[in-house]
Structure 1
Amino acid sequence: MNHDPTLPRGAKDVVSTHSVFGSPCWVSLTSRDLQTTEDFYTAVLGWRWRSVKLGDHFRIALANSVPVAGVAAVAAMWQMAVAWTPYFAVPDADEAVSRARERGGTTAVGPLSFPPGRAALLADRDGATFGIWEGELVGNWEAWRRAAPTFISLHTRDAFDAALFYGEILDWASGVQGCCEVEYEGGEVVLRSQGDIVARIDSGAVESAPDPSVRPHWQVHFAVTDVEACARASEKHGGSVLREDAAEAILRDPDGAQFTVTSRRER
């Protein structure tokens, strides 16, 4: 498996993971067909697209001109699963990988150099995949935070155990200036960065379940103004709706990647 070439690159007003860490900082999608992927997410989320230097298989998604996600149409070429993957900011990729391994996690890729930073793709001890990124963050950090996913959520076997695993790797609730805060609310773990909810962890996934949407996994939630319109656009453009209510809908794109659209009023 190769490294992810759709990770953020530096720009003006650069912020480094050495000063902002532990929080989700990027999301990336692997797909099979780039044109189908572009058409689908343009219709559902209104994204526009920017090319990258690495070739025709890669794109950066823009929301109101702000880079919000990377897409790599390499799932078939590199024999990778079609999925959305969140990346967390870390000050030292080698140290983060070492901590993950010591605590029962596994490394799929890296750390590898990818100027202006370094990246690795990991899995926690229950098999949920996530990435880490050390280096410059996408151009304007606050603009990304506002335009990016509402939050990400981990559905796993034991929320408390998972919070300990990620907290020890990503310095959550460590007391270090700038670290993420962790709260426990009714059996759910809530992660906050600078006051904003950026991740949730809840228990109940069945590790051996045949459906990959049930096994432990990170789910990406995108903020939208009209959940119903997104659901109908998904169905019209080759995707499907797995669950829908007034506040959010779980969707599946034409390649099978699962994500959630959440009403901005629910943020």
Structure 2
Amino acid sequence: MNSHGTTANEVVASHSVFGAPCWVTLTTRDLAAAEAFYHAVLGWEWRTGRLGEQYRFASVNGVPVAGVAAVDSVGRMAVAWTPYFAVCSADDTVARSQERGGTTAVGPLSFPPGRAALLADRDGAVFGIWEGELVSGWEDWRRAAPVFVKLHTRDAFDAAIFYAEVLGWESAETGCCEVRYEDNEVVLRSQGDVVARIHSGAVEAAPDPTVRPRWEIHFAVADVAACVRAAQAHGGSAVYEGSGMEEAILRDPDGARFIVSSRPRR
């Protein structure tokens, strides 16, 4: 995934940050409506890249941060935001997922200059994998877009074991992601930054069978309250607004759920 804003000396391959989130994609029924909504709420600018007219790239200050695909172009999949994790080999990752009870929805498919697949873990939470060049320099993407991605699931420890085995977390390879248990969550770090969290309640609590496992995307914004107002004014809604307006759960006009969070202090 390149030719969307990076220069030759900025090219970063998935193997250099394997196991970490490296991209997020929205599937939607109305590309034009999604572009207008996210431009109003998050200030994103849009352009078409190598993947054709049914896939748009969003950018912030020239840095590609997310993709939006028309549902019909991706097999009539559900409207949702999905995180993609960097891997060294899409084929090997799909095989490991299937061996451990995961399922494969799409792929691996070739999207020059790389390969992608859409998977689901043992509890049905959907995630993607990407092998190849990243859309933009990983550090630039991290600064410009998500704060982190978060998995809400029934059993955080079981989920962490699945993803560690499939994505290579805490492996012996140089540069792998580190996993720790902090504040009732499994926390994933890459190059020192928190890039993902897995949550299922207090450590002593039994798994909750009513939870619908899902990955959620947290986008960094300067003004959460302004995002809430813009979402409501452009056909979206606020599911939850946190105290002090440091975080809000929003839905876009098509029903896709995402989270806006105050920019972390550096």
Q: TM-score, normalised by structure 1?
A: 0.91
In the alignment, is the contact (CA less than 8 A) between 2:24 and 2:84 conserved in 1?
yes
In the alignment, is the contact (CA less than 8 A) between 2:51 and 2:111 conserved in 1?
no
**Residue 9 of structure 1: aligned partner:** 2
Q: 1:28 to 1:248 in 2, by over 3 A?
A: same
In the alignment, is the contact (CA less than 8 A) between 2:17 and 2:190 conserved in 1?
no
* 1:79 aligns to 2:76 (yes or no): yes
In 1, distance between residues paired with 2:116 and 2:75?
A: 17
**Residue 196 of structure 2: aligned partner:** 199
In the alignment, is the contact (CA less than 8 A) between 2:102 and 2:120 conserved in 1?
yes
In 1, distance between residues paired with 2:75 and 2:109?
A: 17
In the alignment, is the contact (CA less than 8 A) between 2:118 and 2:129 conserved in 1?
yes
In the alignment, is the contact (CA less than 8 A) between 2:28 and 2:69 conserved in 1?
yes
Instruction: Return the offset for 1:20.
Output: 1.9
Note the 1:61-80 alignment, pairs <5 A.
Answer: 61-75=58-72, 78-80=75-77
In the alignment, is the contact (CA less than 8 A) between 1:75 and 1:81 conserved in 2?
no
Note the 1:104-119 alignment, pairs <5 A.
Answer: 104-119=101-116
Note the 1:1-267 alignment, pairs <5 A.
Answer: 8-9=1-2, 11-12=6-7, 13-75=10-72, 78-204=75-201, 206-207=208-209, 209=210, 214-245=211-242, 246-265=245-264
User: SS of 1:199's equivalent?
Assistant: strand
Structure 1 window deviating more from structure 2 (235-244 vs 8-17): it is 8-17
Q: 1:206 to 1:257 in 2, by over 3 A?
A: farther
In 2, distance between residues paired with 1:94 and 1:77?
A: 19
Task: Flag the structure with higher helix content.
Answer: 2
In the alignment, is the contact (CA less than 8 A) between 2:105 and 2:120 conserved in 1?
yes
Q: Mind listing any 5+ residue stretches in structure 2 that lack a counterpart?
A: 202-206
Alignment RMSD (CA, Å): 1.7
Instruction: Return the offset for 1:206.
Output: 4.8
Letter in 2 for 1:158: D
In 1, distance between residues paired with 2:50 and 2:93?
A: 28
In 2, distance between residues paired with 1:196 and 1:76?
A: 34
Instruction: Return the offset for 1:54.
Output: 3.8
In 2, distance between residues paired with 1:186 and 1:141?
A: 27
Q: How many residues align?
A: 255
Q: 1:172 to 1:59 in 2, by over 3 A?
A: same
Instruction: Return the offset for 1:250.
Output: 0.1
In 1, distance between residues paired with 2:51 and 2:18?
A: 27
Instruction: Return the offset for 1:265.
Output: 3.7
Letter in 2 for 1:101: Q
In 1, distance between residues paired with 2:177 and 2:220?
A: 21
Instruction: Return the offset for 1:18.
Output: 2.1
In the alignment, is the contact (CA less than 8 A) between 1:22 and 1:171 conserved in 2?
yes
Q: 1:266 to 1:201 in 2, by over 3 A?
A: farther
Letter in 2 for 1:254: P
In 2, distance between residues paired with 1:168 and 1:104?
A: 12
Instruction: Return the offset for 1:75.
Output: 4.8
User: SS of 1:19's equivalent?
Assistant: helix
1:187-219 deviation line (CA, Å, top 9, x unaligned): 310000101000000015855x4xxxx510000
Instruction: Return the offset for 1:140.
Output: 2.0
Q: 1:61 to 1:157 in 2, by over 3 A?
A: same
Q: TM-score, normalised by structure 2?
A: 0.91
In 2, distance between residues paired with 1:77 and 1:154?
A: 23
In the alignment, is the contact (CA less than 8 A) between 1:75 and 1:82 conserved in 2?
no
Instruction: Return the offset for 1:174.
Output: 1.3
In 1, distance between residues paired with 2:15 and 2:73?
A: 35
In the alignment, is the contact (CA less than 8 A) between 1:14 and 1:141 conserved in 2?
no
